[in-house]
Amino acid sequence: MERSPDHGSSPEQAPLSSLDEWEEDLRRRYPDPGSPDVDANGTVEGEPFRNYEEGTRDGVREFYRLNHRRQTVEFARAVRKKYLPLRTRRMGLWEAVNELEKLVDDSDPDTDVPQIIHAVQTAESIRADGHPDWFVLTGLIHDLGKVLCLWDEPQWAVVGDTFPVGCAFSDKIVLSEFFAENPDTQSPEYQTPCGIYEPGCGLDNVLMSWGHDEYLYHVLGQHLPVEAQYVIRYHSFYPAHREGEYGHLMNETDREMFAWVRAFNPYDLYTKHEAAPDMGRLLPYYEDLAAKYFPDTLQW
Ligand SMILES: [Fe+2]
Ligand SMILES: [Fe+2]
């Protein structure tokens, strides 16, 4: 029997040792092509062949099992009803940064870096490449939707690769065999390539699985250019931006904007090894940048 999802420590709530474990696993699935350990085939030196599934940790497998089972059309609609009126809390951007920091306090100090460090490393490498300031700012804030954990959302509803619900699940989604446990697979209406959508309807009309991306898009998107909105909303949509799936639901704008989503991904995944940023020196720059785009208080 499964345990109640109501308690922070239950395996149902938190099969990952920390939210970072999902991102660690992403780096194993999509190794850094710039790393000296990775050859032209994307194979990591020392691993005789690339077999993602074999090396997947139990906690990560359990996390995906829950995610694929529980992210249904019904859940995706209900959780939007709960959060998208944006009446859960009023807080400024930096308050959200601090709250997120407290949340991940119990991460493993050997492998996990504080969220703000990941945020600034992502932003600084975007800045170093001479990108516009909204792209730098997007690097800083892109994961703030993880504050969903403040309200006791289980890990499977905060992180993980995202995908459309209400249509057939692509077999390119990581560990897609777990969708067999998703009740939507019993609904013939949801199991055609387009499901409840029209071909080319555009992703804005598509109900995505719920997580930190979609939530933050609704909180902050209105203050940012459309390119930044796409990065925030779809940065975990690996089945599309890495695997090239779900093109049949996209429109022209989606296709254009996904160039930014793809451009963002290496900054998100591959900047953790860089030297810890000098926060004292950098913070004033980021405070000014955030103040340029966001009001003092935001509705969450
Ligand atoms: Fe993220
Ligand atoms: Fe990230």
The pair of structure tokens assigned to 166 is: 């209400």
For residue 141, the SS3 value is: helix
Instruction: Tell me, in angstroms, the distance from the centre of ligand 2 to residue 189's CA.
Output: 34
pLDDT (tens digit, 9 = 90+) per residue, 206-245? 999 999 999 999 999 999 999 999 999 999 999 999 999 9
Buried b (16+ CB within 10 A) or exposed e, 253-271: ebeebbebbebbbbbbbbb
Note the pTM of the prediction, 2 decimals. Answer: 0.92
If one counts every other C-beta atom within 10 angstroms of the C-beta of residue 230, the result is 26
> Which ligand is nearest to the Cα of residue 121, counting in written order?
2
Q: Are strands 90-91 and 298-299 parallel, antiparallel or unpaired?
A: antiparallel
pLDDT (tens digit, 9 = 90+) per residue, 63-120? 999 999 999 999 999 999 999 999 999 999 999 999 998 876 555 556 667 889 999 9
Cα end-to-end span (Å), the chain: 35
Instruction: Tell me, in angstroms, the distance from the centre of ligand 1 to residue 78's CA.
Output: 22
Instruction: Tell me, in angstroms, the distance from the centre of ligand 2 to residue 186's CA.
Output: 34
On whether the CB atoms of residues 178 and 272 are closer than 8 A, the answer is no
Instruction: Tell me, in angstroms, the distance from the centre of ligand 1 to residue 288's CA.
Output: 23
Helices (H), the chain: 20-29, 58-70, 73-83, 93-103, 115-128, 133-141, 212-220, 226-234, 238-241, 252-269, 279-293
If one counts every other C-beta atom within 10 angstroms of the C-beta of residue 219, the result is 24
Instruction: Tell me, in angstroms, the distance from the centre of ligand 1 to residue 188's CA.
Output: 32
Q: What are phi and psi of 236, to 5 degrees?
A: -100, 5
On whether the CB atoms of residues 55 and 31 are closer than 8 A, the answer is no
